[in-house]
Amino acid sequence: MYPIVDHEVLAPRVHRLRVQAPVVAEKAKPGQFVILIIDEKGERVPFTISDWDRDAGTVDFVFIEVGKTTQQLATLQPGDRLLSFIGPLGRAAEVDRYGHVVTVLSGYGIAATVPIIRALKEHGNTVTTIVQAPDKERLFGVHPLEELSDDLILALGTKGDGMMESTTVAIRKLLDAHPKKPVDRVIAMCSLCLMRVLSEMTRPLGIKTMVHLTPVMVDGTGMCGACRLSVGGTNRFACVHGPEFDGHEVDGWEVLMARRCTYADESILQQGFQCRGCSQW
């Protein structure tokens, strides 16, 4: 059993849990994830690691209430326990000295990208961070991003396509200044549609664009095949070959988005989350 040691509400329906999991904390790296089970009747659900403390043996992750399991997680308090907490899983994010790196974040990615940005800074990079949120009320996690980023851009907009538009305007300004003010790499952990759009925006400029893809996962070891996707014309599994991929090589965006909609149940749709085309979740 894995005790909950802290629970913080970051924004409406957005929570951070800190779990006592020394083995996971000891081996965690930026960009990796865990799969947990709440109790004996629970489902296996993946969450990207947002922080860890090796000395304390704790692991943090951020989630948004969108369905039965995340709503149940939102009720847990310090002292409650998880039945299973497996990780770290997946490949760590690629981190090196690139130069000027632009990170584009939304949702849980606002917190989950912090370890990646921290590692990028440790390697001597200049980091510009663009944060996408519907409005100020649902914006969270700004403080660590301000501390780590050389420049922080808040792309706030209305729910739906307007939110994506405000973000693409911000990235377009940076790309228009390239190569006089070069952008050497883009890292995105945001909506599928926005990651796809960003990949197409940077493709003509030859700017390496890494996207973090988290399709439906079950076992987290590549055995079930639920998280398969096509990258460079080859089948890959997000849980073992990812979750980070070169966005220019992903050639199955339509399938990824269609499969995500397939698994959206009524409880999610009733909360106003859209699942059509390139609308935002």
Query: What pTM did the predictor assign?
Result: 0.90
The answer to whether 105 touches 131, Cβ cutoff 8 Å, is yes
| SS3 assignment, position 251 | coil
Q: What is the mean pLDDT of residues 184-212?
A: 94
Identify the pLDDT of residue 265. Answer: 54
Report the pLDDT averaged over residues 143-152. Answer: 96
Q: Provide the pLDDT confidence category of residue 54 given band limits of 50, 70 and 90.
A: very high
- Across the range 237-260, mean pLDDT stands at 87
Q: Is 239 annotated as a binding residue?
A: yes
pLDDT digit string (tens) for 126-147?
A: 999 999 988 888 899 999 999 9
Whole-number mean pLDDT of the chain? 88
The pLDDT-based confidence of 115 (bands split at 50, 70, 90) is very high
Among 122, 121, 105, smallest CA distance to 113 is for 105
Instruction: Round to whole Å and give the CA distance between 58 and 255.
Output: 36
For residue 165, the model assigns a pLDDT of 62
CB atoms under 10 Å from CB of 125, counted, come to 19
- For residue 9, pLDDT beyond 80: yes
Distance CA 115, CA 110 (A): 11
User: Is residue 264 very low, low, confident or very high in pLDDT (cuts 50, 70, 90)?
Assistant: low
Q: Which domains does the chain have, with CATH numbers?
A: 2-89 (2.40.30.10), 93-212 (3.40.50.80), 215-281 (no CATH)
> What letter represents residue 45's amino acid?
V
18-31 pLDDT, tens digit each: 999 999 999 999 99
Q: Is 190 annotated as a binding residue?
A: no
